[in-house]
Amino acid sequence: MGTELNSVPIIKMSKENKIDAVFNRLRTENKTAFIPFISIGDPDIDTSLEIARTLIKNGADIIELGFPFSDPMADGKVIQKSYERALKRKISMEDAFSFIKKLKAYRDIPVILFTYYNPVFILGEKFAEGAQNAGIDGILVVDLPPEESAELTKYIQDKNIYQIYLLAPTTGNERMKLILSYAKGFVYYVSVTGVTGARKSLPETIKSKVKEIKEISSIPVGVGFGISSKEQARDIGKCADAVIIGSKIIQFIEDDINDKRAIIRRIAEFSFDIKSSL
């Protein structure tokens, strides 16, 4: 008799997360990923969508989108002001999901949602469902350490959404090993102590720290906080797998808040220069 169908084990094939796909491709090309950051709804929802599309057109490999939050303790003045502008528009999580759907319809590159835990906690499982429907590939919850992530992990683990974790210059070796054991997609190395914001110079220790991370894990390393020029990006790109830039891009919005064409033009030029340097 032939084998009964019910006796054959069914193996679920998990779809590759788009973050992995990007880093795998860039590794074969010996290139570094460019990950820009902007706030959803700054200066308004339509303009921020145009900015996101502009970033993609000019070289973004992955895009990080900040959900506006009233108490962004990890962020400096530039991003704080950006969130304030967006919050005046009363941006909700549903607005964020809708924004991401529209962006994905334009081009389906990996999207990471940057948020604080409170909005996620309030929605609970509904957050994970909305994130999956929107096409979110990763979530970075800046105030949620691995030890406290069990509930969020439970919601997202079967939805092919990665939680991105942070490492800081002050992270010790044992702590680093713990965080890296949870990490998926890539790990975000915060290049400076303190909050976000463009810096004229970056610590010399970045390269040695990235090397230390890579000796523990094979996961890609993205470096962010402080990078503000193509020279800095090129230098960081020699050791890191991704360069993450937010405040410098958002500063263009603040500088030309009443001239949307100038905002788009300056962000396009800057993004093109950064990607060309990588």
- Ordered mean pLDDT values, 10 residues apiece, the chain (278 residues): 38 73 97 97 97 98 93 70 91 96 97 95 95 98 93 93 95 95 96 51 79 96 91 94 96 96 98 97
Q: Which residue reads 């704080």 in tokens?
A: 80
Asked whether residue 8 is domain-assigned, the answer is no
Residue 261 inside a domain? The answer is yes
Determine the Cα–Cα distance for residues 201 and 59; give it in Å rounded to an integer.
24
Q: What is the CATH number of the domain that holds 40?
A: 3.20.20.70
Catalytic residue among 64, 95, 129, 235: 64
Active site residue 61: no
Q: Which residue has the tokens 């290139």?
A: 31
Domain count, the chain: 1
Domain of 214, in residue numbers: 32-277
229: tokens are 């020029």
Using alpha carbons, list the distances in angstroms from residue 62 to 16, 45, 256. 15, 20, 25
pLDDT value at residue 2 = 41
Q: Which amino acid is at 212?
A: E
Task: Kindly name the residue from 4, 16, 44, 75 that is annotated as catalytic.
Answer: 75
| In-domain check, residue 15 | no
Indicate whether 5 belongs to any domain: no
- For residues 45 and 225, what is the distance between their CA atoms, to the nearest angstrom? 25
Any domain includes 223: yes
Reply yes or no on whether 125 is catalytic.
no
